[in-house]
Structure formats: C-alpha cells, structure tokens
C-alpha cells in the first residue's frame, strides 16, 4: 500500500509539473497583455499586474487590420470546417460501407497524399491559383478544404468500421437511400468522432499562417495570424509586448470557446474509441 501511495504521489507531482509548464506561458501571455511597457520588464516579474491596465486592448481595438483579420479568419475557418466536415463524413461513409470497385485502392491513394510534404506542392499550387486569378483572395484557402480533409476521412472510416454493416443493409431493405441512411442513422452514431475532428480541424484552420502568408498580400485580405505576425514585426522593436500579447489573447479566445463547447463530444469520442479498439 505504501508503494502504491508513493507511486500515486509521484504521478500527481509529475502531472502537476507538466501542467504548470504548459499553462505557465499562457498565463504569462494574459498577464503581459494587462501591463504597460515598463511592467513587462519589472523585476521580480509580476504574474498578477498591479495595477491592471487595458490600454493594450484599447489600442488594439483601434487597429483596422485586427477586425479585417478576424473577419477573414472566421470566413475561412467556418466555411472550410463546416462544409469540409460534411464532405469528409460522406467520403468516409462511402469508403467504409458502400460497395464500389477499387475502393481500397482509391483509399490507399488518398492516404498516400499524406506522405507528400506541403513544400513539395506549394509552388505548383501557387502557380495554378495565380493563373486563375485567385492570388490575394480567400479562395485558395477555402475551396480546397471544402472537398474534405484526408486525416478526418481516415479517422471517420476507422470509426465507421466498428459500426455493423447490418444497419446499412436494414435501411436499404426498408427503402432508404444512401443519403437518408447517412443523415438519419450513421451521422448520429459518429457525431462524437466528427466533433473531435471538427475542433482539431478548426484549430488548424484558425491558426494557419503559411498558406495565408503565401496567397494574401493586401492588409485588408490577410487573416488574423498574419496580422499578428505583422504586429510582432512592427511593435517588437518598440518593445510594445502588451499590444502583441493582447492580439494573441484575442486570437486564442475563439479556439478556447470551440473547445469548451465540444469538450463533451471529444471525451466521448476518445472513450468510445478505446472501448471499441
């Protein structure tokens, strides 16, 4: 019993230390955004600002590029994740439950695309989008994602493999079409898995920096991450770290809200995957 208690205490200590290491930078970011320039370099460092200042957020709200960046990021993230999640779910359902020739070969070819690094296709994609006039628009960030996400298709296909084929066969005997079968029977069963993949994809789309940096040139077209990078380049020289940290906090809030909303579904997805695996 003493050995068990000692091991439990050691595990709690290690996990607590890991939590502090992971949460510490986040808390310092929030704390810095509530200070003035002099307070950032104060020794010893103040985790709780005294006094609390919202001057950085006030100056941030006066920047036109911030609101345009938020608007563009919301447009890209929601359009890609909502429509792309639907197409990914339908593709996973097709690969998992429908009978079609060369289904497994097509799925392997789809997975092979994951092995191609993005820098290898970055220049050809840019040339293609440039020829059709999509550079400096949001279309290169939106249209490809609407056709689905390979990682989500793979995850949902594996999740669907645990659902009996008899459900689809019974619906087919009752006269239900494939779309009716998917939306009325399959979709409610895989909703936790879809929620888990949705939030991961939303976080990736919201925090995407490289693709917007390549395709977007005009300040009013840039997404939030590019705007924050520009703020960092412009104000870091002036040691205006409260303004930079305030912009980072604003960028973090939507992802945090989405995680809070979908955390129940994510936990259910992990639990069900463990039980069925």
Work out the mean pLDDT of the chain and round it to a whole number. 84
Burial 104-134 (b: 16+ CB within 10 A, else e): eeebeebeeeeeeeeeeeeeeebeebeeeeb
pLDDT on residue 275: 45
Structural domain boundaries in the chain:
55-275
Q: Which fold has domain 55-275?
A: MetI-like fold (1.10.3720)
Q: Using one digit for the tens of pLDDT, what is the confidence trace for 16-73?
A: 888 888 888 888 888 888 888 777 777 777 788 878 888 888 888 888 888 888 899 9
Look up residue 38 and give its two tokens: 């002099």
Q: Please choose, from the candidates 242, 265, 269, the residue with its C-alpha nearest in 3D space to the C-alpha of residue 38.
A: 242
pLDDT on residue 215: 92
pLDDT on residue 76: 93
């Amino acid at each position: 019993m003493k050995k068990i208690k000692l091991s439990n205490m050691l595990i709690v200590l290690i996990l607590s230390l890991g939590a502090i290491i992971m949460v510490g930078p986040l808390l310092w970011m929030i704390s810095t955004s509530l200070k003035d320039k002099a307070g950032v370099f104060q020794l010893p460092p103040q985790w709780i600002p005294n006094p609390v200042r919202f001057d950085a957020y006030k100056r941030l709200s006066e920047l036109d590029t911030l609101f345009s960046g938020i608007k563009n990021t919301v447009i890209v993230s929601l359009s890609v994740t909502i429509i792309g999640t639907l197409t990914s779910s339908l593709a996973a359902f097709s690969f998992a439950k429908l009978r079609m020739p060369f289904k497994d070969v097509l799925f392997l070819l789809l997975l092979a695309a994951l092995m191609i690094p993005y820098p290898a296709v970055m220049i050809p994609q840019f040339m293609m989008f440039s020829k059709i006039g999509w550079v400096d628009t949001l279309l290169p960030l939106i249209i490809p994602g609407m056709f689905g996400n390979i990682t989500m298709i793979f995850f949902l296909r594996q999740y669907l493999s645990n659902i009996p084929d008899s459900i689809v066969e019974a619906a087919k005997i009752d006269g239900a079409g494939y779309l009716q079968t998917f939306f009325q029977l399959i979709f409610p069963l895989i909703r936790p898995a879809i929620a888990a993949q949705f939030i991961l994809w939303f976080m990736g789309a919201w925090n995407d920096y490289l693709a917007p940096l390549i395709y977007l040139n005009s300040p009013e077209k840039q997404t939030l991450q590019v705007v924050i990078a520009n703020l960092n380049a412009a104000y870091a020289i002036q040691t205006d770290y409260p303004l930079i940290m305030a912009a980072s906090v604003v960028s973090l809030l939507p992802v945090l809200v989405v995680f809070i909303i979908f955390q129940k579904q994510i936990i259910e997805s992990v639990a069900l995957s463990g039980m069925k695996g």
